[in-house]
Amino acid sequence: MPPEKPESVAAKAGSGRVLVVEDDPGVREMFLYALGRHGWDAQGAADGLQAWRCLQEREFAVVVTDLQMPSMDGLALLKRVRRMENPPPVVIQTTLLNSGLEGLLRKAGAFQVLVKGGPLNRFLRSVEEAAAASPSHPAHC
């Protein structure tokens, strides 16, 4: 039997609710589609404020957020999430990644920091890893 490809590993692991926070509707829909195809219950939010409202209404295993957004950016959202009781892990995506920014985001509590537009398999693997570390995965989703 041939070894499994990374895509099939991600497909088996997908379970739980993921909140994708992205102000670009096309990018948001692409992430929601990819997560859904890999077994995740994915919901989208257009900015940090909308995401915060979603987090008040439902429990999520993982939050994936863009850094630069109107209304409330990803760092402000991260700080709010980290103050929640049993906060879900937050994966931040940005096109502006450098070591200083990554250090700041990790110090603020980001589970992982990704370069936006990187390989989709890396994105899916990050969600899987974050979900495995989540206090709400998978039993409470």
The DSSP line for 67-91 is SS-SSS-HHHHHHHHHTSSSPPPEE
- The confidence score (pLDDT) of residue 14 equals 60
Domain positions in the chain: 6-132
Q: In Å, how far are 68, 80, 98, 103 from 41, measured between CA atoms?
A: 24, 22, 31, 30
Q: What residues pair up with 106 in beta bridges, in sequence order?
A: none
pLDDT tens across 8-27, in order? 333 344 669 999 999 999 99
Ranges in the chain, pLDDT < 50 = 1-13, 139-141
Quote the pLDDT of residue 1: 40
- Homologous superfamily of 6-132 in CATH? Response regulator (3.40.50.2300)
